[in-house]
Amino acid sequence: MKIFLTGGNGNIGSAIRNLYQSKGHEVYAPSSKELDLADIAAIGRYFEQNGRDFDVIVHCAGYNPVAAIENITLDDFNKTQNINLTALLEITKQVLPHFRQRQQGYIVGIASLYASTSRAERVAYASSKHALVGMLQTMAIELGRYHILCNSVSPGYVDTQMFRGRNTADKINEIISRIPLGRLATPEDIAAAVYFLGSPENKYISGQDIIVDGGFMAGGFQ
C-alpha cells in the first residue's frame, strides 16, 4: 500500500511511519517545510506535483496553542483549525478520485481525549479535535459506498518528548496513578491502533473514534 502521512516527524507520527514501513508499505510523510498545512492552498499544489494515487491517509499533524478564551488570537485559532481539521478535508478531496476508482481506501485522523472532553486554555485545540471526529463520521457515511473506511484514534497520555517537556516528574506520576493500566501509552501503542484501522486488517470498522488511553476515560481520571 501507499500511505500519505502528515506529522510523520513527531514521536507518534514516526512510530506510525515505522510500523507501516516494517510491514512493507510505502510511506510519504512530507515535513512542514515541504507541505505547510496551515496554507490550505499549498495542499492542492503538493498533490499536483506528487500524485494522488494513495491507498491510505493518516492525518497526524497537530497544532496546540495554549491560551485562555479572552487571549486566543483569531490567527492562532484559525491556524489550529487549518492544521488539525481543514487540512484533512482538503487532502481527502485530493485523493478521493483515486479511492473511488479503486473502490477502496482508508482514512485515519489522530484526534485526542480533547475530542471527547476538554480543559481550560484549549479552546482552539478542543474545537478542532471535536470537529475532526465529526468530520470523519460524516466521511464514513458519505464514502462508505466506495468501501472507504474512515475513523479517528484518540490517544490518551503518550510518553513523548513534548509530554515530558510540559510536565514535571510529580505531575507525570500523578497522571499515571489515574491510568488503570498504570503506565503512559507509548507512541507504538497509538501506531498499532492506527495501522489496524488503516490497513486491510480492518474490514468493517468505520465512523468510530477509538480511544487509546489505558482505561483513563473509563474512570481512572476520577
When pLDDT is cut at 50, 70 and 90, the band that residue 108 belongs to is very high
Query: How high is the pLDDT of residue 166?
Result: 86
Grid cell at residue 118: 476538554
Residue ranges per structural domain of the chain:
2-218
Per annotation, catalytic residue among 46, 125, 157, 195: 125
Query: How high is the pLDDT of residue 155?
Result: 98
Q: For the residues 166-171, what does the mean pLDDT come to?
A: 92
Annotated catalytic residue 125: yes
- Cα–Cα nearest to 87, from 139, 35, 133, 50: 35
The answer on pLDDT for 154 being more than 70 is yes
Strand order in the sheet with 105-110: 26-28, 2-6, 56-59, 105-110, 148-155, 209-212
Query: How high is the pLDDT of residue 219?
Result: 84
Q: For the residues 147-171, what does the mean pLDDT come to?
A: 95
Alpha-carbon gap, residue 118 to 161, rounded angstroms: 22
For residue 110, count other CB atoms closer than 10 A to its CB: 27
Query: How high is the pLDDT of residue 58?
Result: 99
Indicate if the alpha-carbon torsion angle 113, 117, 120, 122 is positive or negative. positive
When pLDDT is cut at 50, 70 and 90, the band that residue 99 belongs to is very high
The answer on pLDDT for 21 being more than 80 is yes
Q: Does domain 2-218 have CATH number 3.40.50.720?
A: yes
Q: How far is CA 169 from the centre of its chain?
A: 27
Query: How high is the pLDDT of residue 68?
Result: 97
The answer on pLDDT for 222 being more than 80 is no
Q: What single string gives the DSSP state of each residue in 55-102?
A: SEEEE-------B-TTT--HHHHHHHHIIIIIHHHHHHHHHHHHHHHH
Alpha-carbon gap, residue 115 to 152, rounded angstroms: 10
**In the Cβ-directed half-sphere of 154, how many Cα atoms lie within 13 Å?**
24
